[in-house]
Amino acid sequence: MRRYLTLLMLPIILLGIWLLLNDSFSSGQIALGTILAVLLAWAASNLRPLRASPKHPLIALRLIATVAIDITKSNIAVARIVWLGSRANATPGFIRIPLRIRDAHGLAALACIVTYTPGTVWSDYSEEESLLTLHVLDLKDESEWLHTIQQRYERPLMEIFE
């Protein structure tokens, strides 16, 4: 049962996006969207040799909420730095963060989280050392960044993907 639900997830999402973009829930749009969603999902299946098997959807929802709050706070902090300029006393810098997560999908999700958050850039990842290099616009407290990445993001991603 779970396998069928996993196979249907992409077509359902594509159909939903199709209907939202067309702003119509007519039977013709539903039929056309269903056909396109199934064909696109089938065509895309060969492009993904490594399948994800996410677990714990409630943890995923909690992580999404945490990331949304952090992105909002980061937007405000970056806006303050931009508006105040030199008076903001921003301290840009690089920080190296050891990671325990090994799953490729979890690492990709972590990269997206870091990239979506204003003021941070995923600079490098050493697979041999499992070390993330992160550029932060305002790096005043390295321990806070270590805690944020390792506890707020990496730990839930490990529970979801590993």
Does residue 153 form part of some domain?
A: yes
Q: What is the pLDDT of residue 69?
A: 96
The mean pLDDT value of the chain amounts to 89
Provide the residue range defining the domain that includes 100: 57-161
Q: What is the pLDDT of residue 6?
A: 66
Q: What is the pLDDT of residue 82?
A: 87
pLDDT, tens digit (0-9, with 9 covering 90-100), for 74-123: 999 899 888 887 677 888 999 999 999 998 889 999 999 999 999 899 98
Angle at which helix 2-22 crosses helix 27-45, to 10 degrees, equals: 130
Least reliable range by pLDDT among 33-42, 43-52, 77-86, 105-114: 43-52
User: Does one domain contain both 79 and 103?
Assistant: yes
Q: Please compute the mean of the pLDDT values over residues 38-42 and round it to a whole number.
A: 89
Does residue 123 form part of some domain?
A: yes
User: Does one domain contain both 37 and 105?
Assistant: no
User: Does one domain contain both 117 and 156?
Assistant: yes
In which band, very low, low, confident or very high, does the pLDDT at 36 lie, cut at 50, 70 and 90? Answer: very high
Q: What is the pLDDT of residue 4?
A: 66
Does residue 51 form part of some domain?
A: no
Does residue 50 form part of some domain?
A: no
The three-class DSSP label of residue 109 is helix
Does residue 40 form part of some domain?
A: yes
Q: What is the pLDDT of residue 2?
A: 61
pLDDT over 80 (residue 37) = yes
Does residue 140 form part of some domain?
A: yes
In which band, very low, low, confident or very high, does the pLDDT at 1 lie, cut at 50, 70 and 90? Answer: low
Does residue 141 form part of some domain?
A: yes
**Total count of domains within the chain:** 2
Q: Where are the alpha helices (DSSP H) in the chain?
A: 2-22, 27-45, 57-84, 104-116, 142-147, 155-161
User: Does one domain contain both 20 and 65?
Assistant: no
Does residue 139 form part of some domain?
A: yes
Q: What is the pLDDT of residue 135?
A: 93
